[in-house]
Chain A
Amino acid sequence: MIDDETVRHVARLARLRLSPDEEQVMREELSGILEHIDAIRAMDLDGVPPTTHVIALENVVRPDVPVPGLPREEALREAAHVTDEGFGVPRMD
């Protein structure tokens, strides 16, 4: 089991405010996920290269040719708040 402090740390990084009950649920669920890693660790993996991708594809690229994007009104349509032709956000200093 991971400890409460680790749960709180991960929650802060994810900008989540958890109640003590929610922390407990998260602690159990995260621990469960990490136990899968323990199962892999228990195997003999000498000589097996680390895997980062599960599909055997490489070099999926596109040519450097512009394609039309979104008109500004459409780009801004989903914005929570529009200011000065842009996405308005709380002041960042």
Chain B
Amino acid sequence: MSAHEPVIGVEIHVQLSTRTKMFCGCELSFGDPPNTHTCPVCLAHPGVLPVVNEEAVRRALLIGLALGCEIAPRSIFHRKNYFYPDLPKAYQISQFDIPICGRGEFRALREDGSELVVGITRAHLEEDAAKLTHAGGRRAGAAESVVDFNRGGTPLVEIVTEPDLRSPSDVALFLRQLRQTLLFLGVSDCSMEEGSMRADANVSIRPVGSQELGTKTELKNMNSFRFLERGIEAEIARQEEIVAAGGRVSQETVHYEPDTGHITSLRSKEESHDYRYFPEPDLVPIAPDPAWVEELRAGLPELPLPLRMRMVGEMGLSAEDAEVLTERPELVAYFMEAAALADPKACANWIRGELRAQLREVGVEPWQSKVTPAHVAALVGLLDAGTVTVPAAKEVLAEVIASGGDPADVVESKGLGAMDEGDLAAIVAEIIAANPDQAQQLRDGKDKVIGFFVGQAMKGTGGRADPQSVQRLVREAVRGD
């Protein structure tokens, strides 16, 4: 056991998927030509005034309520001052000592069923910076960067956690389940690749049993959960090495190189963190009407964690089923509709297994496909009644994916119904007669040979034989038991 334990807190930036920017009416866009969504406000022309986007406030409140945060009766904006080309005002409008959402708590469920509780320090509203790209990308050696202000001013919620996390895998779990919650709230696209969700981790180590916090480093801007997890692992190892060699960790910002697995220090100027926050004089306080806050609280959707607990506790699903099916709110709705019509466990198996596997080949999600939840339930019903075998049901599903027809009709029209016992017994008898050696092996106790007969029966019936029935019929015929 290591003599040290990691102590990790994370900061998550979430771009809100509102129609317009945080402080001006410019439309949000992703992938539009550069600098086609700007105005004097988000370009910081002299004399302009920001005005708060009400929808951004609503979404920040939804996030705060879902994270169990205290909602500030009155919060204010601050200016965070620093110079960088992606920040035209030379300050970012953010929140400082009175954020819109204060202390809260997020509960996540580990695969082993244990609970991970992470304290939320705060969640506040701010604006995103513009996008900076290197002109050198196209012209090697160009000594220039280019600023695209389309992104500048996009509403952001920054969520800050307490240093409650103790392992890289817990960080990844927390972020995955937090992302799910945000998707359920419908406040953001939460795409790590496109940068609409970004995470930084504060990492330190301390002797096991100690209550003090060690010097932390900040691991910046990882664009996938997997890289963040690996980056934290690498940073913990680096800090342990320093301490083992008698050294001291210095407070700095570090970067993880996924290709090499190396941690590099981003040399930051010593004064770069002196942001000289002061209250934004151009914006008045936000004081949400308590009745509005209660209305939002009452209207929160059922969130992933309670939903997963209900799926496991009341519907008989495994923890893994529940985790997979709650990945997206659309998938939850799809499953719930099917599960209301047929055995939930069987619906879960078919949706997360065969249906998704077949649809992946055509690049479509279940809720976008021709297969309705009622079709899934019907298929489960046909299987349950013994009308079709599992291999035939897969064929039926493929046909429904292609044509959108009703499963029972497909069974009928394609002749995929399970064979009746008499016909099947006749086929089994033929197979045994044609393969005396294998039949003898089975009589001699080589039970594995049963698989051979099942395979032959499937081939002979085009998948319409029920494997269990074939096994039973073969045994009866060969051994008389």
Contact = CB atoms under 8 A, between A and B. Distances in A.
A and B from one assembly? yes
Interface in B138-156: 138, 142-149
Contacts of B148: 86
A24 to B, nearest CB: 22
B147 A87 contact: yes
A66 B271 contact: no
Interface in A38-93: 52-53, 55, 57-67, 69-70, 72, 75-76, 78, 83-92
B404 interface: no
B287 interface: yes
B414 interface: no
Contacts of A89: 85, 132, 144-147
A13 B287 CA distance: 33
B430 interface: no
Contacts of B286: 58-59
Contact of B39 (A52, A63, A69): A69
A85 B57 contact: no
Residue of A53, A57, A83, A84 ringed by the most chain B CB atoms within 10 A = A84
- The interface residues of chain B, by DSSP majority, are classed as loop
B180 to A, nearest CB: 24
Given A13-B271, A60-B284, A85 B35 contact: yes
A51 B287 CA distance: 15
Interface string B178-211: 0000000000000000000000000000000000
Contacts of B142: 91
Contacts of B55: 63-64
Contacts of A69: 24-27, 37-39, 42
B287 A72 contact: no
B92 to A, nearest CB: 15
Nearest to A52: B279
Interface in B53-70: 53-57
A66 B27 contact: yes
B134 to A, nearest CB: 7
Contacts of A84: 34, 133, 135, 138, 146
Contacts of A17: none
A61 B285 contact: no
B271 A12 contact: yes
Contact of A91 (B19, B56, B134): B134
Contacts of A52: 76, 279, 285
Nearest to B37: A69
A1 to B, nearest CB: 20
B144 A64 contact: no
Nearest to B137: A84
Contacts of B57: 61
A47 B133 CA distance: 51
A58 to B, nearest CB: 4
Interface of A: 9, 12-13, 15, 52-53, 55, 57-67, 69-70, 72, 75-76, 78, 83-92
22 contacts: A15-B83, A53-B279, A58-B74, A58-B286, A60-B51, A60-B52, A63-B54, A63-B55, A65-B19, A65-B20, A66-B27, A69-B24, A70-B39, A75-B35, A86-B148, A87-B35, A87-B85, A88-B135, A89-B144, A89-B145, A91-B134, A92-B134
Given A69-B25, A72-B33, 18 more contacts: A53-B76, A58-B284, A58-B285, A64-B20, A65-B20, A66-B19, A67-B20, A67-B25, A69-B37, A72-B34, A75-B43, A84-B146, A87-B146, A88-B145, A89-B145, A89-B147, A91-B135, A92-B84
